[in-house]
A and B are shown apart, each in its own frame.
Chain A
Amino acid sequence: MTPAISIDGLEVVFDRFRALKGVSLEVKSGESYGLVGESGSGKSTLLKAIAGLVPVKSGTITVNGKTLGARRDKAFYREVQMVFQDPYGSLHPRQTVDRLLQEPLAIHGFADGEKRIQQALDEVGLGNGFRFRYAHQLSGGQRQRVAIARALILEPSMLLLDEPTSALDASVQAEVLNLLEEVRRRRQLTFLMVSHDLAIITHMCERLMVMQNGEAVENLTAGQLIGHRVEKDYTRNLLRASEGFVRTA
């Protein structure tokens, strides 16, 4: 079976700064894969490189068997959609939810927009009542639901999730994580999810990659991480830090 994403020796350079230093990765179709690391580790850059939002210096990205060039075509964005971290920044402030959801449909020439918008809103647990609201009339969790609906409305096979819950309260985070798991199960989606929170990644993903300074530190299964069967000190430090503050007497 062809892997959903296959990345080989990916290099991303901003001016003289090497944000990604030859990263390789393979995500199976239908898998949920996590990228963990601290700020500046390159985890978000990797996601953006796949989405075509940052220039790639060298290396190849293959999605569903097709090697991507410098430009992404329309067909690519039907397959691959992204959900961003900040639900306050990723929705157009002067468009209603309805208008926001119509845009991808118009671009891709879907005919039955009316039905799809209703379905998409139902799927993310927002009723029709939210359809003609603006982003500022929604809470953070509701906005992130709209962002997920906008990603799902094109029926993609893959979602790129960039810290989708880190701007949300813990209780709302649980709701959004549950929603993501549910749509993944229902539609058999492939997830590539970025987070700084090891607990979220082990909850959501089967396999993961720990990153630091633009490089892969190690590849693990969720089970290995849970069982603390990790090789590198860096991962061990992250694990320890995620357990909270320990007073040294």
Chain B
Amino acid sequence: MSGTLLDVDDLRVTFPTRTGLIQAVRGVTFSLGRERLGIVGESGSGKSQTGRAIMGLTPPQALVSAKKLALDGADLLAMPARQRRALRGKRIAMILQDPKYSLDPVMSIGRQIVETLRTHEKVSKAEARERALAMLEAVQIRDPSRVFDLHPHEVSGGMGQRAMIAMMLIAGPEMMIADEPTSALDVTVQLDVLGILDRLVSERGMGLIFISHDLRLVASFCDRVIVMYAGKVVEQLKASELRDAQHPYTRGLLNCMPRIGYERHPLPVLDRKPEWAA
């Protein structure tokens, strides 16, 4: 692991509502090297808002603050919007959950990939096409020139998510945020997509933030895991040491899922303690 790519210190995201301020993320601190970092939590734990705040995609009405939010030393919150826009897609990329909604429905897959590339690099149309085809091949799409001309509704979920990965990687980012990248996919397809993501990320020495509700999947895929609850990090640990998790929330989450070959009736349930959120 070489150096720190991303430095997050005391990140807070607050949403003003009619009934007062809602703190979605409350003082999250971590750093990311060239590794796979998992962020796990249930709905409402602030895991996605953490990812979006790093990406700069927080809704305009929300307030983002941090003691430090820096990519390779450059302060993300202080830099002008224009500079941050140039960074987005070029140095930090993001994969969203469902390719049905995150791809442009009226543009062919190839054109979307080319558009991403030409936004960030000065390349000729012919070269952009070449590189897009090569990238589609890298995500194990068998017939790249056919898929290049298809629209998102004409491909399956697994294929769409591969196209999304291709689009995100084409500009050669150093860091990627994947927000539930495989939750909308079937289990077997899920593993194919994870395999592709895993290979590309390690080949290119990228940093990956993998956001998911699935603790077990994250543990098998990532190097390190951050567990979030009610906007806070309750535990940070190595994925291999998940079995020895200390925090009752982490242990509860691991425990409450049915497992093949472990008969437990009834299933243990989480007994939420108010002090976890304190």
Contact = CB atoms under 8 A, between A and B. Distances in A.
Contacts of A172: 42
Contact of A238 (B187, B253, B261): B187
Contact of A203 (B190, B191, B220, B267): B267
B266 A182 contact: yes
Contact of A177 (B189, B198, B267): B267
Nearest to B187: A241
B194 A242 contact: no
A39 B98 CA distance: 15
A225 B260 CA distance: 8
B198 A247 contact: yes
Interface stretch (A52-60, A64-72, A129-137, A192-200): A192-200
B186 A171 contact: no
A245 interface: yes
Interface residues of B, number: 35
A150 to B, nearest CB: 22
Contacts of A128: none
Contact of B220 (A38, A204, A244): A244
Contacts of A226: 260-261
B257 A245 contact: no
B195 interface: yes
A175 B269 CA distance: 6
Interface string B177-194: 000000000111111001
Nearest to A227: B261
A171 B273 CA distance: 14
A172 B259 CA distance: 16
Contacts of B270: 171, 174
Interface string B254-276: 00111111010111111000000
Given A177-B267, A241-B188, A245-B217, A199 B257 contact: yes
B260 A170 contact: no
B27 interface: no
Interface string A234-247: 00011101101111
Nearest to A178: B266
Contacts of B187: 38, 196, 238, 241-242
Given A38-B186, A170-B213, A171-B256, A245 B269 contact: no
B253 A170 contact: yes
Interface in A201-220: 202-204
Nearest to B182: A245
Tell which of B191, B217, B258 has the most Cβ of chain A within 10 Å. Answer: B258
A27 B263 CA distance: 22
B252 interface: yes
A248 B266 contact: no
Contacts of B190: 241
Contacts of A73: none
Interface of A: 38-39, 140, 169-175, 177-178, 181-182, 196-200, 202-204, 225-226, 237-239, 241-242, 244-248
14 contacts: A38-B188, A38-B189, A140-B43, A171-B42, A174-B268, A199-B260, A200-B258, A203-B265, A204-B258, A244-B217, A244-B220, A245-B191, A245-B198, A247-B198
